[in-house]
Amino acid sequence: MGKIRAAVCREFNTPLTVEEVELRKPQTGEVEVDLHAVAICHSDISYWQGGFGGSLPAVYGHEAAGVVTAVGENVVGIKEGDSVCVTLIHACGHCTTCQSGKPTICETPVDNLGQSPIAMGDEPVFKAMATGAFAEKVVVDQSQLCVIPEDMPKDSAALISCGVITGVGAAVFAADIEVGQDVVVIGAGGVGLNAIQGARIAGARRIVAVDMLEDKLEVAKEFGATDTVLAEGKPWSEVKKILGRGADAVLVTVGVAQVYDQAPRYLGWGGKVVMVGMPHGDKVSTYSPLIMANQGQGIVGSKMGDMVIKRDIPWIVDMYQQGRLKLDELISGRWTLDQINDAIEDTKSGAARRNVIMLK
C-alpha cells in the first residue's frame, strides 16, 4: 500500500476533505497512473450530492490524464512511462454489448467498493465511477485507458476522457447526424460545446444552441453553433422559425428532467431526441407517445457518446492536433486539489465550461 492525497466525501452534499488514503498496487489487468490533471464533471457533482447513490466514504472524479507508473500482470499495449487518458469506461470485452462494439454499456458488474484499491486503514473507500480520480494517483482497469502523445498537455487531454467523447460522440455516433441535417443542442456547457463540435464535424447544416445564459450562447458560436436561442418562453418555436421545420436531432446535454419534457417539441418529423445529460435518479419526464409514434420520432440514450476509446480517442487527439477540434478553449479555470470545493461551487454556478484540478 502506498499513501496518496485524495479529496474524500464522507457525507453527501458537504465539502470534500483532502486527506491521506492508501492505494494498493495494481493487480492482474490493472494499471497505476500518476495523475497530472482531472476535470470536474457535473456527474461528479450529482454523485457528491447523493443523486446517483453509492457508498461512503468515496472518492469521485473520472475525467483525467496522467502518466503510467506501474502495470499489473496481463496488461497489453500499456507500459510504464506512457501518457494516458483515464476514463470511467470499464469494459470486460466479453459480454454481449462489448462484443457488439458497445463497451460504454458493458453488462459486467464492477464492484467499486469490495474491489476498490483505495482504503483508509481497514475501511475500503468507494471508487466512484470505477475511477476515483480526485486524487494524486489511481489504479484502474487497463480497459479504461488510452495512450496519448507524450507532449500533449495533460489538462486538455483530461477533458477528452469524458466531456469531449461524450459530446462529440453523442452527435457523431448516437445521433448519427448526416450531412445537411439540422441539429439542436440544449445546454452550452462543457458537454454541449462538444456536441456542437461533433455536429459541425458530422456536417450538420444548422446547429442551434439553446441555453439560459447569453454569455454561454456567445461561446457556443465560437465552437460551431450557427444560431442561438435563449431558453425562455417557447424556445422550440424560435428554433422552428430558424430552421423552417423541426430539427432532425435534439441533443439534451443538461441533467434536468423538465428539459427532457420539452425536448420532443423541437423535433421535426422523423427526428430523434438524444439523451446525454443525466438527472438525479428520482427525476422523471413525460412526453406524448401518440405524437412521437405518428411522426416517426424517437428517443435514444447515449452513454459516453457510444465511443470505443482505443479507436476514437486517437481520432479526437488527431483532430485537436490539426486544429479542427477545440480543447484548450474548453478550460475555464485551473485549481489545486486543496481548492476542489471552490472549483465545485464554481462549476455548480453553470458559467464554467470545464474546471480542471491540476495535480502536477
Q: Report DSSP letters for 127-194, one per residue.
A: EGGGT--SBSEEEEEGGGEEEE-TTS-HHHHHHIIIIIHHHHHIIIIIS-PPTT-EEEEE--SHHHHH
* pLDDT tens-digit readout, 71-88: 999 999 999 999 999 999
pLDDT of residue 351: 78
Select 2-162+306-358's CATH number: 3.20.20.70, 3.40.50.880, 3.90.180.10, 3.30.230.10.
3.90.180.10
Mean pLDDT of 2-10: 97
Residue 352 above 90 pLDDT? Answer: no
**Which residue, among 243, 300, 238, 301, has the nearest Cα to 268 in the 3D structure?**
243
Radius of gyration of the chain (CA): 20
Domains of the chain, by residue range, sit at 2-162+306-358, 176-301
* pLDDT tens-digit readout, 294-331: 999 999 999 999 999 999 999 999 999 999 999 999 99
Q: In what order do the strands lie in the sheet with 118-120?
A: 2-8, 17-23, 118-120, 123-124
Mean pLDDT of 112-136: 97
Q: What topology is assigned to 176-301 in CATH?
A: Rossmann fold (3.40.50)
* pLDDT tens-digit readout, 172-229: 999 999 999 999 999 999 999 999 999 999 999 999 999 999 999 999 999 999 999 9
Name the pairing type of β-strands 298-301 and 227-230. unpaired
Confidence of residue 1 (pLDDT cuts 50, 70, 90): confident
pLDDT of residue 117: 98
- CA distances to 40, 213, 234, 254 from 210, rounded to whole Å, are 22, 9, 11, 11
Report yes or no on whether pTM surpasses 0.85.
yes
Confidence of residue 19 (pLDDT cuts 50, 70, 90): very high
pLDDT of residue 44: 95
* CA count, 13 A, side-chain hemisphere, 174: 32
pLDDT of residue 350: 81
